[in-house]
A and B are shown apart, each in its own frame.
Chain A
Amino acid sequence: MSILAVTHLSLTLQDQHILKNISLSVEEGDVVGLIGPNGSGKTTLFNVLSGFLVPTHGSVHFRGQDITGFSPSKRAHMGIGRVFQNFGIFREMTLEENVLVALEALPAEQRKALGNLKEVVQGTLEMVGLSGHAKKKAGSLSGGQMRLLEIARTLKSGKELFLLDEPTAGVAPKMTHQVGDLISELKRDRKTVLIIEHDLPFISRVCDRVIVLNVGEVVLDGKPSEVKQHRKLQEIYFGADPTS
């Protein structure tokens, strides 16, 4: 069974058809890239998957359960984690507090199963090399460090499906590799990851599959090597070749 199944999903906002009849499924442990030009509906699709928007038509199933009308917090408790393009960290809280609040937001049973939360916090920060900054405010970190903190926090709070919205945006090139390595670690742990990204080499490196959105529709779906060579992708990004 797919971990995530989207069926005939459409979203209309103020008479604009933002998403049009999107159907896709994602298997557990897959790392899937979601690409497309600006305005193609990628982040809107993430907003629907994470519960911030309710679709006009269609449904979203997570582990076989219809979650279409569920709130973001309920989806989080089920195991869906979101990493935001504009850094979803709490800048005026310390790094420790950023991780701790994520653990405290878990349902009581999951929280108890983690044991000593302070040790989990310490372990999380050590995992991404930020334990030396535990008492610093998160807003003082670099873009790359913020991203590592956000992904690690989501991972340690027991999420199974990760929605990463442009994880390399605002990240220095030398730290992009670290973010990629962390995503590879997620894959090794059989976590499922959906990534919105404009950095195609990055997508090729970390993803098993790429879905291309254009004007709210899925236009391509396949392996990165296949999608990269596809004529449609060139047309979407560079326009149709008049000689062809």
Chain B
Amino acid sequence: MQLLVNALIAGSLAALLSAGLSLVYGVLGVFNLALGQFALTGGYVTWWLHVSIGLPLPVSILGGVIVAAIVTWIAFEVSVAPFYRRHVFLPLVTTIAFSMILDALILLLFQERPYSIIAVKHSLHFAGVYISVEQIFLIAFTIVFLCAVAWVLHSTSLGRKIRATVQHSDAARSLGISSALLHRSVFIASGILAALGGIYLGIDQNLTPQLGFPLTIKAYAALIAGGKDNFWGTIVCAYLIALLEQLAIGLPWWGGDYIAAGFQSVVALLFIIVVLLLKPRGLFSGLRRAI
């Protein structure tokens, strides 16, 4: 039961990160490798506003999200917009460059010390499971937020335009859906989702500058495993990978020995390899696009 709860906690973080990634891939067809750094930007700015400046947490979160959205917008204009129409793989390189700049800036501004947005958690213990009030809130928030994303996608004009673009980009453009505006909006939305992921991480655990790339990899594992343009497949795989990680390090193997927690991130990579070998287009590729 504890493993399931842990998987729910870790999966919610991965779901926030990979949801934006899936939208960006579906609409723009590009890979963004600066996602983890957008998450850290949101997390660190929230920490700075809340802990250093002393602003209330909701205001700090709003500040973190706004700054991350601006950074994501700059990233789009500098490292995506000039390149992706020439070749969709170019942003793969340019966003890596942008992520390295952000990594350096984060290191310069916040050093290597781990920071937590909420230092003291309010722990609960019931039915043999340990969980903090903050974690319950984070899981609930993620589920509500993803439901809100679903509502936007399926019940609003913007959502219909996004889905139309994902399903037939040329037809959407020839109906008058402006790809320039839509692409910017979706890219910035992915940065906001990532920032929320970073804030989630900063509340639940600690923020360190080295986390950017591992966060990106985890989100990509869910994206690739779920089917690159399958939004809901990606979300399901985010939770699935988190569950496999918890099972890998939480259960005894080989005569009672446990796998060291440091190997947790290997699970996501192994999972991608296995999925690519068995179903190269993703686990949910048999289903039509679920966006």
Contacts and interface: CB of A to CB of B under 8 A. Distances in A.
Same complex = yes
Contacts of A105: 161, 172, 175-177
Contact of A104 (B161, B170, B289): B161
Interface string A45-69: 0000011100000000000000000
Interface residues on B, range: 20 to 34
9 contacts: A71-B178, A75-B174, A82-B171, A88-B170, A90-B171, A90-B172, A91-B168, A101-B177, A105-B177
B179 interface: yes
Interface residues of A, number: 31
B285 to A, nearest CB: 14
Contacts of B180: 71
B52 interface: no
B123 interface: no
B160 A84 contact: no
B167 A157 contact: no
Given A90-B164, A101-B160, A101-B164, A106 B170 contact: no
A89 B175 CA distance: 11
Given A73-B179, A102-B175, A93 B170 contact: no
A51 B172 CA distance: 13
Contacts, number: 87
Interface string A79-111: 011101000111111000100111011110000
B160 A76 contact: no
A232 interface: no
Contacts of A157: 175-176
B158 to A, nearest CB: 9
Contacts of B121: none
Contacts of A106: 176
A73 B176 contact: yes
Interface of B: 157, 160-161, 163-164, 167-168, 170-180, 288-291
Interface string A169-212: 00000000000000000000000000000000000000000000
Contacts of B157: 101, 104
Centre residue among B160, B161, B176, B290 by max chain A CB count within 10 A? B176
B177 A73 contact: yes
A106 B161 CA distance: 12
A94 to B, nearest CB: 10
A92 to B, nearest CB: 5
A114 to B, nearest CB: 13
Interface in A122-140: 139
> Which 8 residue pairs of A and B lie closest in terms of their CB atoms, listed nearest first?
A88-B171, A76-B176, A105-B176, A82-B174, A72-B173, A90-B167, A101-B160, A104-B157
Contacts of B289: 92
B291 A81 contact: no
